């Protein structure tokens, strides 16, 4: 990789401590001088949010969270924030909840404190997403980057093992895809590699001991790094594929990323020797795909898109939408034929190694 690059580091405070979310939130609200706090958390996440917000005064609770942030859901939250004279947004939950806070910040320019409870990583990016008439649009706006992220591994203890694995591999996908994304550079590659190492260490600890915090701390740390790398490097081939599968075919976010990742890696690795060597080194293996697949086997990771609602009828349409979105930076030139092959393999859970010699 050339040492001529143009890198932007996003400014954000990160407070990391197991069992410390409530104290950290109270200190941050005081530091920011906020007086009218809106807490966003889905119905399910509200129990966690009440614990986290125990030390602050809350002017408005908002629970109407919907995956992929439909515009109507965003408009309701924006109106509620304006009506209550809110001066700070606090979101406690997964990527969908963080996404709703970002939608409010986009128009109101209010600051966000994010308290994530999954490994999706939205809290560390300046990317927003909204869904209108079944089409998901995303954009970049520094106003949606949370000013502070509060990580507390205790909040992820309730995340079931299967969802922890899928969500953690969503983070792994940010790391791996960053290696060949449009703005890949030595800084985001270093962050991505450390994210791979932390997630590969943490996720097996979670499956071995779901009630312990050691693995969950590693996974949260890895998830943060993955998101910083992704925000800096941009969306590569893997994210373009998953964006179409989620947006057009309504497949579940984390599981789709977890399933497609080995196929995207096998597709690109032989054409990106430097990235493949870096990924392999982060896994502690000589080959990147072997490192990922060994980990996925230990985790009993999602295997086939067919298990999440995708069917062979969707392949031609998906390939047609993905093809023009593939970044020019992608190491292997994409064609309708090779994308179709990738999707066929991911549909049924074929051995991804078959794509290496496409
Ligand atoms: P999610 O937020 O939809 O959460 C999945 C489910 O897990 C929900 O039912 C939620 O209530 C539940 N949950 C959350 N925390 C839990 C916990 N600790 N214990 C038990 N259950 C818990 O899913 P996600 O994967 O976190 O986020 C996906 C969304 O985030 C997608 O819309 C995706 O596009 C977005 N995203 C955006 C960015 C970005 O940079 N803008 C990055 C990553 C993901």
Would the CB of 202 count as within 6 Å of ligand 1?
A: no
pLDDT band at 133 (very low <50, low <70, confident <90, very high): confident
How does pLDDT run across 77-109, given as a tens digit for each residue?
999 999 999 999 999 999 999 999 999 999 999
Would the CB of 67 count as within 6 Å of ligand 1?
A: yes
Q: Which of 131-135, 160-164, 310-314 has the lowest mean pLDDT?
A: 131-135
Give the span between the Cα atoms of 340 and 240, in whole angstroms: 14
* 8 A C-beta contact, residue 12 and residue 197: no
**Chain region(s) in the chain for CATH 3.40.50.1970:** 13-156
How does pLDDT run across 187-243, given as a tens digit for each residue?
999 999 999 999 999 999 999 999 999 999 999 999 999 999 999 999 999 999 999
Residues near 328 by beta carbon (within 8 Å), at least 6 away in sequence:
182
Give the span between the Cα atoms of 38 and 61, in whole angstroms: 6
The CA radius of gyration of the chain, in Å to the nearest whole number, is 20
**Chain region(s) in the chain for CATH 1.20.1090.10:** 161-355
Would the CB of 167 count as within 6 Å of ligand 1?
A: yes
Q: What is the CATH number of domain 161-355?
A: 1.20.1090.10
CA of 253 to the centre of ligand 1 (A): 8
Residues near 36 by beta carbon (within 8 Å), at least 6 away in sequence:
59, 60, 84, 85, 86, 87, 88
What pLDDT, on the 0 to 100 scale, is given for residue 247? 86
Residue 1 clears pLDDT 60, i.e. is over it: no
* CATH of 13-156 given 2.120.10.80, 3.30.470.20, 3.30.70.2740, 3.40.50.1970: 3.40.50.1970
Would the CB of 93 count as within 6 Å of ligand 1?
A: yes
Ligand 1 atom index nearest CA of 126:
40
Give the span between the Cα atoms of 169 and 199, in whole angstroms: 8
Would the CB of 164 count as within 6 Å of ligand 1?
A: no
Average pLDDT over residues 283-309: 98
* Residue identifier of the C-alpha nearest atom 20 of ligand 1: 159
Average pLDDT over residues 288-300: 98
Residues near 84 by beta carbon (within 8 Å), at least 6 away in sequence:
36, 38, 59, 60
- Tell me which residue of 228, 294, 216 sits closest to 262, measured CA to CA: 294
Longest CA pairwise span in the chain (Å): 60
pTM of the model: 0.96
Would the CB of 131 count as within 6 Å of ligand 1?
A: no
């Amino acid at each position: 990789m050339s040492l001529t690059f143009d890198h932007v580091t996003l400014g954000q405070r990160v407070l990391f401590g197991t069992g410390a979310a409530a104290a950290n939130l109270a200190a941050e609200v005081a530091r920011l001088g906020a007086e009218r706090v809106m807490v966003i958390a889905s119905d399910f996440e509200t129990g966690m949010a009440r614990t986290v917000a125990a030390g602050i005064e809350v002017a408005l609770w908002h629970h109407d969270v919907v995956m992929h942030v439909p515009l109507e859901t965003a408009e309701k939250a924006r109106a509620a924030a304006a009506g209550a004279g809110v001066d700070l947004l606090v979101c406690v939950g997964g990527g969908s909840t963080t996404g709703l806070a970002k939608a409010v910040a986009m128009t109101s320019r209010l600051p966000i404190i994010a308290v994530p409870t999954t490994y999706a990583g939205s809290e560390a990016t300046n990317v927003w997403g909204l869904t209108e008439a079944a089409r998901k649009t995303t954009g970049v706006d520094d106003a949606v980057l949370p000013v502070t992220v509060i990580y507390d591994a205790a909040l992820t203890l309730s995340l079931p093992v299967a969802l922890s694995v899928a969500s953690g591999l969503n983070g792994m996908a940010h790391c791996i895809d960053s290696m060949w994304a449009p703005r890949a550079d030595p800084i985001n590659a270093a962050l991505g590699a450390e994210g791979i190492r932390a997630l590969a260490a943490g996720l097996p600890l979670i499956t071995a001991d779901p009630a312990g915090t050691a693995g969950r701390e590693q996974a949260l740390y890895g998830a943060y790094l993955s998101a910083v790398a992704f925000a800096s490097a941009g969306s590569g081939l893997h994210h373009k594929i998953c964006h179409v599968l989620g947006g057009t075919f309504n497949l579940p976010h984390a599981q789709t990323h977890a399933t497609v990742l080995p196929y995207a890696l096998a597709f690109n690795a032989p054409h990106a020797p430097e990235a493949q060597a870096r990924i392999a080194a982060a896994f502690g293996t000589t080959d990147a795909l072997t490192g990922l697949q060994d980990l996925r086997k230990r985790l009993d990771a999602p295997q086939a898109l067919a298990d999440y609602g995708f069917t062979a009828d969707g392949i031609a349409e998906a390939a047609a939408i993905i093809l023009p979105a593939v970044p020019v930076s992608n190491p292997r030139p994409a064609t309708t034929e090779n994308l179709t092959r990738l999707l066929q393999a991911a549909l049924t859970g074929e051995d991804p190694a078959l794509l290496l010699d496409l």
